[in-house]
Amino acid sequence: MGELRFDGRVVIITGAGAGLGRTYALLFGSRGAKVVVNDLGGGRHGEGKSSKAADDVVAEIKRNGGIAVADYNSVVEGEKIIKTALDNFGRVDVLVNNAGILRDKSFPRISNVDWDLIQDVHLKGSFKTTQAAFTLFKKQGYGRIIMTTSNSGLYGNFGQANYSAAKLGLVGLANTIAIEGAKYNIHCNCIAPTAASRLTEDILPPDIFNELKPEFIAPVVAYLCHESCQENGSVIESGAGWAGKCHLIRSNGALLRSNMVDAVTIEKVRDSWSKIINMENGQHFNKPSDATMALVSALESIREGVKNDVNDDDVNVCD
C-alpha cells in the first residue's frame, strides 16, 4: 500500500496559523495538497488580529516545497475563505474546521459576550464555512469535512459551559451533514483532539503537555480527509499517539405501561429506574429512523400486552 497523497486536492484549514491547524496545514502541504491557511491571527480569547500567523505557516509550507496561500478572514465570514480558495486554486476538496478560542468562566459568570463569541467562532464559523463549501462539494460529487469537537463537549468540563455547548453542537451539525452529504460522496466527521497548544498550556500538567504533540493527531485528521477513507458521521478522539471512535449508546430501557390503556405514572418511572439507566448491552443508532424503529417495537410490545411487572427483571422490551 502506497503513501496517501493529496495531489490536485485543495484543502482549507481554518485557524491554521498555530497549534493543531498549523500542523494539519504542514502535513497536507507535504503530501501534495494546495493549502489555504486561514487564520485571523487573534489572541487566545478572540481579541485582536494579525496576518503574521497565516503568513508564517504559508512561508513554512513553501520552504518545504509545498503550495499554499494565506487567508485572514474570520470563520464567521466563512464564505470569504471559500472564495480565497476558488480565486487561487479554482476548487475546494477538503475543509477542516479548526479555528477556536476560549472564554472560560464558571457557569454563573458567563456574560452574553463570552457566550456569543464562543458560539460565533466555533459553531457559526463552522456553519458558514461548511455551508459555502458544501454547495461546491455537492456540484462536484466529492468533499471531506472535519468539525473540531472536544472532550469538554462530549463529557463536560468545569468552567467551559459556553465552549462545551458549542463543541457538542458541532457534533450535531456533523451528524446531519453526514446524512445529507452521503449520496454526494461528501463525508463529515469530528475530531476530538487533546494536544499541547496555547489553549491548553495552563490546563494540562507539564509532563503530559510535553507528550501531546499536535503532530500525533494530524495524520488522523488527514486520513479522515483522504478520498480512500469511507468513514462518515463519526467522532474520533485522538491524542498522544492514540485514536479511537466515540459514540452515543442508549440503554435497552424499560416499558412504562403494559397495555394500551395502562397509564404511565411517576411511581412506575421510579420503580423502573434501574432498568432505564442500565447501560449493559447499550445500543448505538446510526440514524434517527433506527431510534424510531426501536420505539415502534416498544409500542408493539405494549399493544400485544406485555407482562410488565417493573420489579420483574425478565421484562426486556427492546430485545
Q: Which stretch binds ligand NAI (CB under 6 A): 4-12, 99-107, 259-267, 269-277?
A: 99-107
Element (H, E) at 94: strand 94-96
| Residue 162 or 272 with smaller CB distance to ligand NAI | 162
Closest contact distance (angstroms) between CB of 60 and ligand NAI is 14
> Which CA distances in Å does 124 have to 104, 105, 131, 184?
19, 21, 10, 23
Residues 76-95 contacting ligand NAI, CB under 6 A: 76
Q: Which of 24, 72, 142, 163 is catalytic?
A: 163
Sort 188 into a burial class: Cβ within 10 Å, 0-12 / 13-18 / 19+.
buried
Q: Which stretch binds ligand NAI (CB under 6 A): 29-37, 42-50, 244-252, 296-304?
A: 42-50
- Which residue among 197, 232, 272, 301 contacts ligand NAI (CB under 6 A)? 197
- Sequence-separated (6 or more) residues with CB below 8 Å from residue 8: 32
- Which residue among 13, 53, 145, 235 contacts ligand NAI (CB under 6 A)? 53
How many other CB atoms are found less than 10 A from the CB of residue 39?
33
Sort 303 into a burial class: Cβ within 10 Å, 0-12 / 13-18 / 19+.
exposed
Closest contact distance (angstroms) between CB of 284 and ligand NAI is 23
169 binds ligand NAI (CB under 6 A): no
Closest contact distance (angstroms) between CB of 161 and ligand NAI is 14
- Which residue among 84, 98, 162, 301 contacts ligand NAI (CB under 6 A)? 98
Q: How far apart are CA 245 and CA 314, in angstroms?
A: 32
121 binds ligand NAI (CB under 6 A): yes
Q: How far apart are CA 75 and CA 97, in angstroms?
A: 9
| 24 noted as active-site residue | no
Q: How far apart are CA 233 and CA 307, in angstroms?
A: 38
Residue 53 sits at φ, ψ, to 5 deg, of: -55, -50
Closest CA relative to residue 197, chosen from 300, 126, 104, 100: 100
DSSP at 212: -
- Sequence-separated (6 or more) residues with CB below 8 Å from residue 33: 6, 7, 9, 10, 11, 66, 67, 94
| Residue 40 or 306 with smaller CB distance to ligand NAI | 40
For helices 78-89 and 125-140, what crossing angle results, to 10°? 40
The binding track of 17-36 with respect to ligand NAI, each residue x by CB under 6 A or -, is xxxxx---------------
101 binds ligand NAI (CB under 6 A): yes
Closest contact distance (angstroms) between CB of 171 and ligand NAI is 12
96 binds ligand NAI (CB under 6 A): no
123 binds ligand NAI (CB under 6 A): no
Three cell numbers, residue 154: 462530549
Q: Which stretch binds ligand NAI (CB under 6 A): 27-35, 197-205, 243-251, 263-271?
A: 197-205
Q: Which residues are catalytic?
A: 163
Please give the residue ranges that form the binding site for ligand NAI (CB under 6 A).
14-15, 17-21, 38-42, 44, 46, 53, 74-76, 98-101, 121, 125, 148, 150, 193-195, 197-200
